[in-house]
A and B are shown apart, each in its own frame.
Chain A
Amino acid sequence: MADLNSSFAGIKSPNPFWLASAPPTDKAYNVVRAFEAGWGGVVWKTLGEDPNIVNVNGPRYGAVYSADRRLMGLNNIELITDRPLQINLDEIKQVKRDWPDRAMVVSLMVPCEEKNWKDILKKVEDTGADGVELNFGCPHGMSERGMGASVGQVPEYIEMVTRWCKEVSSMPVIVKLTPNITDIRYPARAALAGGADAVSLINTVSSIVSVNLDTMSPEPSIDGKGSHGGYCGPAVKPIALNMVAEIARDADTKNLPISGIGGITTWRDAAEFMALGAGNVQVCTAAMTYGFRVVEEMITGLNAWMDEKGHANIDSIVGKATPNVTDWQYLNLNYVTKARIDQDACIKCGRCHVVCEDTSHQAITHTVNGERHYEVIDEECVGCNLCVSVCPVQDCITMEEIASGMDVRTNTPVNREYANWTTHPNNPMAKDKA
């Protein structure tokens, strides 16, 4: 059995699966159930100053579904905790005392003044929590009041607030980043400059999930009006993965620990985040969709994969894929692939044909010798992978490398030597051009 023990920015937990700051971590009752279910740690629902904020009293969530009503994306207009500060602090203290082996991180968001941040940090320190997470990510509601994403979108503020926190507290400080920004590396570098021990990302993406066509109100609708919310769940995973990778391979931030968040639903999602450089992961929507027991699947799945691959511990998987993330210009233009259709697996739905025919390269047959038959025409196939993407049968269509001989499409011999755009003759900026 692989060792799943995690040490993230100095915070220990029996596995790398934490619950993200959100309703699942809003109060002791939920957090205790989470720990009973096996979660390695939690980031407590974001605390603010008294008087506590209020939430809307109508629907807070909107959803995007895939076939069979699987929840692919969730959006919310909830704010930070709506309970008095002291109640939260008392509960945090008690739960940490009862569950000493689990990570207890407290998420914070107060007005952007030095005194406010320093005051609340002291209070948190008294609870015995393992660390704090600065919520610079919430894109709705709080941002209108100059907090959350409105801080996270200004690198100078991130650096300033982080520095205040590091000045008064010995606890590890994790800075939670908003994805509602063009280049995630700037806020990450700012957090590092302010002395952050780690960053966590992503918080939710600004979104409107749907419009009620009867009432003409965005959903979720509050008395006929809607407001943009924060989007999360499986749909945002690709956005989050890219942002994690950008930070992990940035020269400035490559050694900054990253807590990966965004759409993590299975052990595989978690492993992908860690492979791209996340030291641990946080989960919200998957728990809110299926309940806390999903962590059992995550733990056993990650374990089985690590055993199969011979990875002894978490450190041996973190960042394993980071070196393979590169810029487009360095991709090997001499690598040639063609689609291959496994005729035994093919169920003859014809979707590969029609998408290639209608929208791509006319490279798949539909009829051969009068029979319904789908086969790749190498002379036309550019190896784009669209057919693989739309085929309903897993592994029926695969991309295979043409390692030698001719590429019959371009009518040129396959050359296995690495050559990229920087030296390509069509590139006006090519290195060897004067």
Chain B
Amino acid sequence: MAQNSALFSELMSDLHPPLSGHEAGVESDRCYFCYDAPCVTACPTGIDVPLFIRQIQTNNSAGAAKTIFDENILGGMCARVCPTETLCEQACVRNSAEHQPVKIGALQRFATDTLMSAGTHPYQRATVSGKKVVVVGAGPAGLACAHRLAMHGHKVDILDANPKPGGLNEYGIASYKTPDNFAQREVDFILDIGGIEIKNEIQLGRQVQLGDLLEQYDAVFIGVGLKEANQISLEGASLDGVEDAVNFIAKLRQTEDYSALDIGRRVVVIGGGMTAIDAAVQAKLLGAADVTLVYRRDKESMNASVFEQDLAQTNGVKIIHHAAPVRFIGEQSNLTEVEFEYTQQVNGKLQGTGETFTLQADHAFNAIGQVLQAGVVDADVVALENNRIAVNEERQTSHQNIWAGGDCIAGGDDLTVSAVQDGKLAAESINRYLSS
């Protein structure tokens, strides 16, 4: 296919283009400034939505951005990646009124973009406390935690295994949700508060151990996310062309030239979450002729929101429900087909029906879930729950000097915005602990 890289870049650009000043004015007029507004409750970080929208309406976008950042310093990223249709916008009373919520996400982006493009940082550090905290992981959880700690005057070191900070904002989120290097620009914005130092390519469990950190710092925050995807242990899983979806996406997010990525003609994606959708849509945008997403349960059980599923389908991704992979088939070392078996729900349990089919494929992406990486925490030091780190309401672990948040903790919902809230709550708790 002779598509040039400029065309690819365009295909991968902004899913929801930003609102113009006029559009933001019209949209903000729609907010009713509700009492005890349901959108505030629905936002995991509790942003005062009616207030920031009223500030936009009165031409005070910087004030609006400040209202957002007060609760969510990654409000810019969240405005782009939050599944608002299941969060704030789902709660909007305009849904009952006319099935059309106020575009809260787009307005949030308008406000935060306005302030961020002004190049100023809206917060000042409190007097230096003399305390030092280490944050492991520069994803949304770690960044939010570090910023809040810095505001309280503490010195923060962030350690991250990757060459670039941002976590999945940099390596995972679909490119059409966050074009123009936004993840790095946001990291710079956060660091502008001062007092935070990021050390890249330092991996906890390899170059440093938890014990060292506990000795060197007054408190530890762990926000390492989840690492390797669950390995599919099926026949043929080692064929060329069988790959974890997160790896594919990370490669794609880091490439300078989309046309250089070999995507093949036929792509099969296995899974039903956001990662599966993102891999499928981006494969399609990059020029794959057929992209089929196969999920073992029904539509309602998919983790991806209805909006995301629709997005996949409008982009030409075919979705097959109730089928699970059986084996990968290849010629020499290359994948050529994937065999599936239909499934059914019997007494609440998923079972194969015995009936199978195959899909031709040059690429199969596994997106069947991620796990806490081994060797980061020792279950003797920090208690686990369902194979993730157990925390209390303040995001404190079983160890009194260690807090954790984001995807790596138990009971979360694996969203950027929830990771931010975890980081913020943990920072407040750490601050109370350090000040007492």
Contacts and interface: CB of A to CB of B under 8 A. Distances in A.
A393 interface: yes
B32 to A, nearest CB: 5
Interface residues of A, number: 15
B96 A347 contact: yes
B25 A349 contact: no
A348 interface: yes
Contacts of A67: 29-30, 57
Contacts of B57: 67
Interface residues of B, number: 16
Nearest to A390: B32
B35 A347 contact: no
B1 interface: no
Contacts of A392: 32, 97
A372 B38 CA distance: 9
Given A392-B97, A393-B97, A350 B26 contact: no
Contacts of A346: 96
A63 to B, nearest CB: 15
A353 interface: yes
Contact of B38 (A68, A348, A351): A348
B35 A350 contact: yes
Contacts of B94: 347
Interface string A344-378: 00111111011000000000001000001000000
B34 A350 contact: yes
Interface in B75-98: 93-94, 96-97
Given A67-B29, A68-B26, A68-B29, A354 B97 contact: no
Nearest to B35: A350
Interface string B18-38: 000000011001101111111
A69 interface: yes
A353 B97 contact: no
Interface string B252-271: 00000000000000000000
Contacts, number: 38
Contacts of B38: 348, 372
Interface in B33-82: 33-38, 57
B93 to A, nearest CB: 4
A348 B96 contact: yes
Which secondary structure dominates where chain B touches chain A? loop
A354 B29 contact: no
A349 B29 contact: no
Given A67-B29, A69-B25, A366 B97 contact: no
B93 A347 contact: yes
A349 B26 contact: no
A272 B36 CA distance: 38
Nearest to B32: A349
Contacts of A348: 34, 38, 93, 96
Contact of A354 (B25, B30, B35, B93): B35
A383 B25 CA distance: 35
Contacts of A350: 34-37
Contacts of A347: 93-94, 96-97
A69 B25 CA distance: 9
A163 B29 CA distance: 52
B35 A353 contact: yes
Contacts of B36: 350, 354, 366, 372
B423 to A, nearest CB: 30
A392 B96 CA distance: 12
A346 B93 CA distance: 9
Contacts of B29: 67-68
A366 B94 CA distance: 18
Nearest to A355: B35
B32 A351 contact: yes
A398 to B, nearest CB: 17
A351 B35 contact: yes
B46 to A, nearest CB: 17
Given A67-B29, A68-B26, A347-B93, 14 more contacts: A67-B57, A69-B25, A346-B96, A347-B97, A348-B34, A348-B38, A349-B93, A350-B34, A351-B32, A351-B35, A354-B35, A366-B35, A372-B36, A372-B38
